[in-house]
Amino acid sequence: MSGQGRSGGRPTLEEVAVRAGVGRGTVSRVINGSSKVSEHTRAVVEAAVAELGYVPNRAARALAANRTDAIALVIPEPEARFFAEPYFSDVVRGVGATLAETDVQLVLTLAGGERERRRLAQYLSGHRVDGVLLVSVHAGDPLPELLAELGIPAVISGRRSADETLPCVDSDNLAGAAGAVRHLLGRGRRAVATITGPLDVYGAQCRLDGYRQALAAAGHPVDELLIAPGDFTEEGGRRAMRELLERRPALDAVFAASDVMAAGARLELRAAGRRIPQDVALVGFDDSVVARHMDPPLTSVRQPIEEMGRTMARVLLERIAGGPADAAVVLPTELVVRESS
């Protein structure tokens, strides 16, 4: 912080070299912690670095080394609203935690409409980041292919299908859903309904599969009329619940594939005079703020979002380094039992 500057600017590698009485190459080696530098020289250089308060110039480094030491996190704007809550900040926190150990910076990119999407493509072709973190990509999204073409490493969360081509990090949607349903059955519920997410989203499909498997494993036949499609929105949840109550008035439990839909379902159940959990038990998915503050507090399946962020970043860094990285990581979920079930 003391104003060292001989000529105004921050010190350069060259100046450190002069100060330490060595060559540029040597200082560079020390800075990059690499290869063969004698114990003594290293000490001298480090002293000079400290004295001058030298900090390498990122742009120069990027230019010379042809890497940016930056990765991008692409946020699909439109959805952002939905999973805004803890999701967004938790992912960022996780990613940040992994990156904190390194010298890699996190660039945030909002890719909403067609237009932003195009800009993003431009942006990425500019080779402005070493890698990309993708979150919740839709089936038809061209971005993954573009990245592959450009040879930019990428990691995805929320795989697009069972055979995702990109390395991906997901939570165990199937097991989480199955656990929730098992929990309901375990509490003596007989007619367990489910409100699904949009089934073209792979994760939503998995949750439905989990529902089916849990039922099957318990020897219950699956009643298709107990399955209602939702779309991850509150309104969608209400609609689905209404439908279910009409078709199967005797249901005594509902597993909603998201907390927000559960919130919608709750309103509808109230309106129909059903008490939660006495008449109908309700379980959600995500363990979001909504779940904790619902009345009654909602039992929900928690995803380790922050850890997913950490893992995504780790896998991407490995990928960038060229090392062998996991192609798919699935992290366990956890059922958080509250008063709604």
Q: Which of residues 199-238 bind its own copies (CB under 8 A)?
A: none
> Which residue(s) pair with 283 in the sheet?
255, 299
| Contact between 63 and DNA per CB under 7 A | yes
Compute the distance between CA of residue 62 and CA of residue 117 in angstroms, rounded to an integer. Answer: 25
Q: Does 80 bind its own copies (CB under 8 A)?
A: yes
Which pairing describes strands 192-196 and 253-256: parallel, antiparallel, or unpaired?
Answer: parallel
> What is the pattern of x (binds its own copies, CB under 8 A) and - over residues 106-135?
xxxxx-----x--x--x--xxxx-------
Which one, 60 or 218, has the nearer CB to its own copies? 60
* 137 makes contact with DNA (CB under 7 A): no
The stretch among 62-70, 86-94, 152-160, 166-174 that binds DNA (CB under 7 A) is 62-70
Q: Phi and psi for 133 in degrees, rounded to 5?
A: -105, 125
Considering the complex, what minimum distance in angstroms separates the CB of residue 127 from DNA? Answer: 9
DSSP result, 12-29: -HHHHHHHHTS-HHHHHH
Question: By the 8 A CB rule, do 269 and 241 touch?
Answer: yes
Residue with Cβ nearer DNA (35 or 278): 35
* Site for its own copies contains 302 (CB under 8 A): no
What crossing angle do the helices spanning 234-247 and 259-271 adopt, rounded to 10°?
50
CA 47 to chain centre: 41
Please, which of residues 28-57 interact with DNA by CB under 7 A? Answer: 28-29, 31-32, 35-38, 40-41, 54, 56-57
Binding footprint of its own copies, residue count (CB under 8 A): 50
- Please state the closest distance from residue 307 (CB atom) to DNA, in A: 32
93 binds, among DNA, its own copies, none (CB under 5 to 8 A by kind): its own copies
Q: Applying CB under 8 A, which part among 14-22, 94-102, 158-166, 194-202 lies near its own copies?
A: 94-102
Residue 272 touching its own copies (CB under 8 A): no
From residue 335, how far is each of 62, 111, 112, 226, 234 by CA, in Å?
45, 32, 32, 22, 21
Pick from 19, 26, 261, 301 the residue near DNA by CB under 7 A.
26
Contact yes or no for 167/326 (Cβ under 8 A): yes
CB-count exposure of residue 116 (10 Å: 0-12, 13-18, 19+): middle
Q: Which long-range contacts (CB under 8 A, 24 or more apart) does 42-48 make?
A: 44/20, 45/16, 45/20, 47/20, 48/16, 48/19, 48/20
Cβ proximity to DNA, 64 vs 216, nearer residue: 64
Piece of 38-46, 99-107, 180-188, 328-336 that binds its own copies (CB under 8 A) = 99-107
Minimum CB distance to DNA, residue 125 (Å): 12
Residue 31 site contact among DNA, its own copies, none (CB < 5 to 8 Å, cut-off depends on kind): DNA
Closest distance to its own copies from the beta carbon of 93 (Å): 7
User: Under the rule (CB under 7 A), what is the footprint of DNA?
Assistant: 9, 12-14, 21-26, 28-29, 31-32, 35-38, 40-41, 54, 56-57, 60-61, 63-66
